[in-house]
Amino acid sequence: MRQCVKAFSFFCMSFILTCVFFSCVTPPQREECSRELLGTGIKGKNELIAFFVSHSPACDKEKVSRLADYYIEESAIEGINSDVAFVQMCLETGFLGFGNLVLPEMNNFCGLGAMDAEHPGEYFESEQIGVRAHIQHLQAYATTADVELHQECVDPRYSWPHKAKLAHTVHELTGSWATDPEYGIKLDRLLSELSNF
């Protein structure tokens, strides 16, 4: 009988300690992607790729992998939030589906200079230079004219944003980067999705 009581007491103590332990352990909190243009992105290459593939399963994964690397590297050089830049590329290109004025071979990942049939947008010699131009254009929006680039300027429209509105967040790109009244909301939504990866 004593052995049964001891066994039951041991079971009860073990159960109580287990409950106390697990009540003290909090589940990992999801870290939300920042909406600020300046700063450091929190998502790595694999997370950016997984996010992209979730929207476009049949995509060229090698190209997406290269672009993820370029966005992380080029953003770090200019102090731009790579999460913001990457989701903006996704929005602007329709997850590399293109289909409007800008063609894939233009290596123009942000619709730079695309206005109409006579002005379809800028051409860049490589994917990396196209990404660099995108990052530099974001840097122009997010800073004042006295803040210099860390690399040679490849963005032919770099000086234009300094004459327009200064933008600190994705929401402030609405009406200046794009005329779509929901532009910032769309970027915000994509960043919320990326936060889950």
pLDDT digits (tens, 9 = 90+) for 16-41: 545 544 445 555 567 899 999 999 99
Q: Collapse the DSSP code of 120 into the 3-class scheme (helix H, G, I; strand E, B; otherwise coil) and give the result.
A: coil
Using CA atoms, how far apart are residues 169 and 159, in angstroms rounded to an integer? 19
160-194: b or e for each residue (b if 16 or more CB lie within 10 Å)? ebeeeeebebbebbbeebbeeeebbebbbebbeeb
Could you report the per-residue pLDDT of 61-88, keeping only the tens digit for each?
Answer: 999 999 999 999 999 999 999 999 999 9
Task: State if pTM tops 0.75.
Answer: yes
Cα separations in angstroms, 20 against 13, 66, 99: 10, 47, 57
What are the CB-based long-range contacts (under 8 Å, 24+) for 151-154? 151/77, 151/78, 154/124, 154/129
Identity of residue 98:
F
Of 116 and 18, the structure prediction assigns the larger pLDDT to: 116
| pLDDT value at residue 8 | 47
pLDDT of residue 56 exceeding 60, the answer is yes
| pLDDT value at residue 70 | 98
| pLDDT value at residue 17 | 47
The closest of 72, 51, 79 to 128, measured between CA atoms, is 72
